[in-house]
Structure 1
Amino acid sequence: MTDLDTLVASAQEQLNAAPTAAELENAKAQFLGKSGRLTELMKGMAQLSPEEKRTRGAAINAAKQAIETALGARRQALQDAELEAHLKAEALDVSLPGRTRGTGSLHPVTLTLERIEAIFGSMGFDVADGPEIETDWFSFTSLNNPPNHPARSMQDTFYIDGKSADGLPLNLRPHTSPMQVRYAHAHIRKHAAGFDPRAGKPWDGPLPDIRVIAPGRTYRVDSDATHSPMFHQCEGLWLGENVSFADLKTIFTGFCKTFFENDELVLRFRPSFFPFTEPSAEIDIQFPSGPLAGKWLEVAGSGQVHPNVVRHMGLDPERYIGFAFGMGPDRLTMLRYGVNDLRLFFDGDIRFLSQFQ
């Protein structure tokens, strides 16, 4: 075996034994580096004759290629081993079921609104919707709220810049009661062709009863455990020639018992005051059992529609009479599901909302 064969064998042995890439580079330097053993042999060719240079140079090049081949093979082997270890560390157990995308569900307040609409729909009530940016006239004046009423204060109502096309102040509606007047106007135009309900003279001719609920978002400057700057309301109106307070009690009692699925539920109509109804009553409920048993809980305001509001609807209050009510779907949701903080519904916490799927 020549000296070059011995050198190649030694190089291959050391390169194949290198356990890491760093040690492989150290072994390479011993043979192919600037001061490596093969490099030193090439430097000694200067003293050889031309014929010897050709022979010796070819032999050294062959040895260099053999060493570089061993070096490349060991580098690839180390890279493959590193990749395999990496893959093992991040291995996936394909026998496990995949993580599926969760299915969404309706918000609990939306479920309540749909339930309210279904119950009143079964009683013959239409569902009305309208603008959330409302004029001062529909929000207050049409509902018998005088100009100095506290509700018109900017500390209670969100007013916005600008005015309506007819020059009236604009606000984020503080209740859905304006829809009672809007719906009445549309109802009259539909059944009394050519009559303008805002012309001044009320309509006193025949007209089908107005039965409507108006659920939707409302806004007030208020925020605590039972109030939110944005909340939901549902107004109801039944207006006709022979509608009485007794009809209000029958309709709302039936609604509450159906909504809470409890025929033993007790209702109390407590005298109160609202500018848009006369007489007026707060509606309280009492559960016969459960954690709220024995407590009176306020759920709505109600009353006979005030004559001034009937006039603003474009109707003759001497002929048309009826009742209105307003309730908070958010509060009904709290009572139905046993939630004690209104803000939880609007925090967007999936852990909380997923309970209602």
Structure 2
Amino acid sequence: MEENMKALEKRALESLQTVEALEALDAWRVMYLGKKGELANVLRGLAQVDASLRPQMGQLANDVRDRLERAFTERRDTMQEAERQKREAAEAIDVTLDARVKRYGAPHPLQYVIQKIEDIFVGFGFTVEEGPEVELDYYNFEALNLPKDHPARDMQDTFYLSPDVLLRTHTSPVQARTLLRMENNQPFRIIVPGRVYRRDDDDATHSHAFTQVEGLVVGVGIRMSDLKGMLLSFAREMFGADQDVRLRPSYFPFTEPSAELDVRCIYCGGSGCGTCKHTGWIEILGCGMVHPRVLEMGGYDPQVCTGFAFGMGVERVAMLMYQVEDVRHFYVNDLRLLQQFSGLAR
């Protein structure tokens, strides 16, 4: 795999030097750096790599991605500058006009957080899946062990287009669809980012539309300890190498046992403050072992395969990372807030 990634990098850089038009440059980016591009195809093979080599291969993949993205940015800037100079040479310049200040755009903070989460889990050997926001009741609830009239549905009241069609309340329907798509108890690891909807009061910490990233790992011999180890590694990548986590018992119809995952408060370091309500911990996601009934409905044999799942709200993670006190700031397009994130880079 190391040789494949190095060969891919060499081929991509050589191809980049032959690009002469901005349209072709964007096609190059999609071909090599897109979610279905050549680098993503190589990364899907991480699941087959020996577990002891995955961190090394994941780091190598991230390094290759960074070098290709820097080369892409430099090539794009060079081509744009050449285009600008060519245009200015062909046009008369009015020296009495006010100077034009070039303002560069930047990723929205939520998009940046999603990209960072994706990068971390792709490094762990996960693939990124997507699904429809307008979903069938079966995939959103019934295939996840939430039959009609189940009381837990009240916690995810949503917007219905018809009795059987709704705006999804979580990205878990993609997990159900993936289970049904696989064959012969095939092991896999996926994360699913996307917009979800719930009938909720808009306040400082809730919104009727928000973004989630969920994960699902299914295979032979998957244990709760694997779940905790994976999430500990994620927390340290996301919030710092000295981060710690804890699991608290909880309830979700699609996992058993279920838990909430807390991280040590990033504001007080665990000593207790107003943000963590003087507990030293902040909840960031729910998780648990996939319920055997969910595996059965997905066509898997729970006597052979087990798995774990987790789900987090991207806005909650972003609020912790950037100390944003009101979730609604992410949606109102206030440049006074968004310009503070102009220095973010993928």
TM-score by length of 2: 0.66
Aligned twin of 1:285: 263
CA, structure 1 residues 341+291, in 2 after alignment: closer, same or farther (shift >3 Å)?
farther
Q: Please tell me whether residue 173 in structure 1 is matched to residue 168 in structure 2.
A: yes
Name the SS of the counterpart of 1:285 in structure 2: strand
- AA paired with 1:285? V
The letter of the residue matching 1:172 is L
Q: Which amino acid in 1 is paired with 2:325?
A: N
Could you say what secondary structure the match of 1:265 adopts? coil
**CA positional deviation for 1:155:** 8.3
Structure 2 match to 1:347: 332
Would you say how many aligned residue pairs link Structure 1 and Structure 2? 241
Q: Which residue of 1 aligns with 2:180?
A: 185
- Letter of the 1:256 partner, please give it: A
1:150-165 superposed matches below 5 A = 150=151, 152-153=153-154, 156-161=157-162
Structure 2 vs 1, CA of residues 157 and 267 (structure 1 numbering), >3 Å: closer, same or farther?
A: same
- RMSD over equivalenced CA pairs, Å: 2.1
The corresponding residue for 1:254 is: 233
Looking at structure 2, the residues matched to 122 and 256 of structure 1 have their Cα atoms a distance apart, in angstroms, of 14
Which residue pairs with 1:336 in the alignment? 321
2 CA distance for matches of 1:137 and 1:116? 28
2:136 alignment partner AA = T
Q: Which runs of 5+ in 2 are unaligned?
A: 1-93, 273-279
Counterpart residue identity of residue 320, structure 1:
C
Aligned partner (choices 266, 276, 281) of residue 296 of structure 1: 281
Structure 2 residue 263 is the aligned partner of structure 1 residue 275: no
Which residue, out of 165, 171, 191, partners 1:213?
A: 191
1:207-246, CA deviations, whole angstroms, 9 ceiling, x for partnerless residues?
A: 4421001010000011211111110011101110111111
Are the counterparts in 2 of residues 286 and 293 from structure 1 also a CA contact under 8 Å? no
> How many angstroms apart in 2 are the aligned matches of 1:288 and 1:128?
30
Separation in 1 of the partners of 2:267 and 2:114? 25
1:1-357 correspondence runs (5 A): 94=95, 98-150=99-151, 152-153=153-154, 156-161=157-162, 169-188=164-183, 205=184, 207-222=185-200, 223-260=202-239, 262-287=240-265, 290=268, 294=272, 295-357=280-342
What amino acid does structure 1 have at the position aligned with 2:248? Answer: R
SS at match of 1:254: helix
1:266 shift after superposition: 1.8
CA distance in 2, matches of 1:280, 1:151: 14
Name 1:43's counterpart in structure 2: none
Q: What's 2:44 paired with?
A: none
Partners of 1:155 and 1:106 in 2: how far apart? 30
CA contact (8 A) 2:110 2:315 kept: yes
**Conserved 8 A contact 1:302-1:324:** yes
Aligned residue type for 2:225: A
Q: Give the Å deviation of 1:289.
A: 5.4
CA distance in 1, matches of 2:106, 2:259: 36
TM-score, normalization by structure 1: 0.64
| Structure 1 gaps, min length 5 | 1-92, 164-168, 189-204
Give me the identity figure in percent. 46
| 1:159–1:170 Cα contact (<8 Å) kept | yes
In structure 2, do the counterparts of structure 1 residues 292 and 97 end up closer, same or farther at CA, with 3 Å as the change threshold?
farther
In terms of mean alpha carbon deviation, does 247-256 or 207-216 score higher? 207-216
Deviation, structure 1 residue 187: 2.5
* Per-residue CA distance 1:306-351 (angstroms, 9 max, x = gap): 0110011110111110100011111000000011110000011111
Distance 1:97 1:321 in 2: 66
Any idea what SS the aligned residue of 2:182 has? helix
Tell me how far apart the structure 1 counterparts of residues 155 and 226 of structure 2 sit (CA, whole Å): 37
Would the aligned equivalents of 2:213 and 2:313 in 1 still touch at CA under 8 Å? yes
Distance 1:133 1:211, change over 3 A: same
